[in-house]
């Protein structure tokens, strides 16, 4: 089906389906929405995904109470995943293929309608506690200008966890204004999230987005957490301790919801923003191949779950593929917010998948790399990976690109390239990929460099 036609059909379904059984009825209280995004978390670094050397009891409890999403896709690095979540649109539409660096003259394009904007229009209080990472070089790019009523935390990653310094610059804010405050960031983020929950009026729904900077480097953690892992060493030990701090924070936030009597009417979503870095040494992405920065499964398939008592069946695992872009239309539908907008969406409503065991609404999912010259496509059990080398502003020569083909049902570790033996499948998927790439935009930093007369390199850290 033509992509523009598909978007129109989905919009029609959304309008018609607002009162369907898969979504809250119009006379029901709309759910609070809490989204936990953990930075650089490995696919197998939590208990509910099989970890035996890192303890995550609070996270695992929530996972047991809902549905584990075993084929949930994100982007290979930080900013692109956040862009996909905020807009419901692939990097090929927003230009956010790579990380927005401090002071870079670009960010999430201002013409994008964001998830918090849409939810605020529907009557939600909207708040972010943690890492924004979608631009700050002008006030218009900062969170309170992009739909958040409240902001607390930092604009970038890789900041020092206690003095909150990144590249020699202080990076800690409240409502987009510099805040001089020290303390371990994970604990501060939890404290603020709990404060907002306790202050939230009971007659108004809350969208609380909590993108922790843990467990991203630098590897820093209070010593009491490290002592719990004498069997580990080096950065693996520190990462495990950092994850314990995140788990503790999630437990505190969940407890705050329960204290206010909000847990039963709160949809909680959890995921990593990309695959774990340095797999085997720092993170664990088993049984997936590679890690952060790549478009192999270890870079783009995230550990994830969704839970809402009485709505998302508990103790289930969903293997149907879905992508971070899907949360935008799904959450708007659940919240009763209007989905109609000028910009076309790539995300599709996955609520029936979560609640009724439906198949994925996608016939194909685009898995964009850190530049427009690196792309992957998932269709059913098949995955095509295409790499044309370094990004060239003059255009991408796909005819000479390296092509790899994998059957993920039989080879989740992507160890057997079937491209040579399956030429028809390669052609079918390349043709489908071409539809996605037909109107792909260049990287945001490339557009910024043209506007400012200087080039900025695509960064992947």
Interatomic CA distance for residues 145 and 109, integer angstroms: 12
Question: How many of the other CB atoms lie within 10 Å of CB of 33?
Answer: 23
Asked if 302 and 315 touch (Cβ cutoff 8 Å), the reply is: no
Place of tokens 């992507």: 414
Closest to 88 measured CA to CA, from 14, 16, 191, 162: 14
Distance of CA 230 to the CA centre of its chain: 32
Distance of CA 94 to the CA centre of its chain: 15
Question: How many of the other CB atoms lie within 10 Å of CB of 249?
Answer: 26
Q: Is 362 marked active-site?
A: no
Asked if 154 and 132 touch (Cβ cutoff 8 Å), the reply is: yes
Question: How many of the other CB atoms lie within 10 Å of CB of 370?
Answer: 24
Interatomic CA distance for residues 434 and 388, integer angstroms: 14
Interatomic CA distance for residues 4 and 304, integer angstroms: 29
What are the distances in angstroms from CA 370 to CA 31, 97, 126, 221? 34, 5, 29, 29
What are the distances in angstroms from CA 251 to CA 47, 60, 267, 272? 15, 10, 15, 17
Q: Is 78 marked active-site?
A: yes
Q: List alpha helices for 345-459, DSSP H.
A: 351-356, 423-437, 444-452
Closest to 328 measured CA to CA, from 319, 310, 341: 341
Question: 165 - beta bridge partners?
Answer: 170
Interatomic CA distance for residues 269 and 119, integer angstroms: 16
Closest to 221 measured CA to CA, from 193, 184, 192: 184
Of the residues 7, 129, 133, 303, which is catalytic? 133
Query: Phi/psi zone of residue 232: left (φ > 0), alpha (ψ -120 to 50 degrees), beta?
Result: beta
Interatomic CA distance for residues 278 and 201, integer angstroms: 43
* Beta strand pairing call for 177-178 and 173-174: antiparallel
Interatomic CA distance for residues 69 and 269, integer angstroms: 10
Interatomic CA distance for residues 387 and 303, integer angstroms: 25
Interatomic CA distance for residues 97 and 169, integer angstroms: 25
Q: Which residues are catalytic?
A: 78, 133
């Amino acid at each position: 089906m033509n992509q523009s036609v598909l978007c129109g059909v989905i919009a029609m379904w959304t309008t018609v389906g607002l009162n369907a059984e898969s979504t809250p009825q119009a006379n029901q209280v709309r759910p609070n929405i809490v989204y936990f995004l953990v930075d650089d978390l490995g696919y197998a670094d939590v208990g509910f995904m099989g970890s035996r050397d890192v303890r995550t009891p609070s996270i695992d409890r929530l996972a047991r109470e809902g549905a584990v999403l075993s084929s949930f896709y994100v982007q290979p690095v930080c900013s692109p995943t956040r862009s996909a979540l905020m807009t419901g649109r692939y990097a090929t539409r927003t230009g956010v293929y790579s990380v927005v660096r401090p002071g870079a003259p670009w960010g999430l394009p201002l013409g994008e309608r964001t998830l918090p904007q849409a939810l605020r229009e529907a009557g939600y209080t909207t708040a972010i506690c943690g890492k924004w990472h979608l631009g700050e070089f002008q006030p218009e790019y900062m969170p309170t200008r992009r739909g958040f009523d409240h902001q607390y935390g930092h604009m970038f990653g890789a900041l020092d966890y206690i003095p909150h310094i990144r590249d020699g610059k202080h990076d800690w804010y409240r409502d987009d204004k510099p805040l001089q405050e020290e303390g371990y960031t994970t604990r501060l983020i939890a404290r603020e999230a709990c404060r907002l929950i306790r202050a939230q009026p009971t007659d108004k729904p809350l969208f609380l987005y909590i993108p922790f900077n843990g467990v991203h480097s630098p590897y820093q953690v209070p010593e009491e957490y490290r002592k719990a892992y004498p069997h580990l060493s080096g950065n693996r030990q520190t990462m495990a301790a950092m994850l314990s701090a995140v788990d503790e924070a999630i437990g505190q936030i969940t407890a705050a919801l329960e204290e206010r009597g909000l847990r039963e009417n709160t949809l909680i979503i959890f995921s990593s923003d990309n695959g774990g870095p340095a797999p085997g040494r720092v993170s664990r992405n088993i049984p997936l191949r590679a890690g952060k920065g790549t478009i192999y499964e270890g870079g783009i398939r995230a550990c994830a779950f969704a839970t809402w008592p009485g709505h998302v069946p508990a103790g289930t695992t969903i293997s149907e593929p879905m992508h971070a872009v899907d949360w935008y239309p799904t959450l708007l539908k659940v919240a009763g917010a209007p989905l109609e907008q000028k910009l076309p969406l790539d995300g599709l409503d996955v609520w029936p998948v979560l609640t009724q065991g439906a198949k994925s609404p996608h016939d194909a999912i685009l898995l964009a790399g850190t530049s427009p010259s690196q792309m992957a496509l998932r269709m059913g059990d098949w995955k095509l990976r295409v790499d044309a080398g370094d990004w060239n502003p003059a255009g991408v020569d796909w005819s000479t690109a390296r092509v790899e083909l994998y059957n993920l049902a039989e080879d989740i570790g992507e160890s057997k390239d079937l491209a040579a033996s399956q030429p028809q499948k390669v052609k079918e998927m390349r043709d489908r990929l071409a539809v996605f790439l037909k109107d792909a935009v260049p990287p945001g930093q490339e557009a910024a460099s043209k506007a400012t007369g200087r080039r900025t390199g695509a960064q992947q850290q």
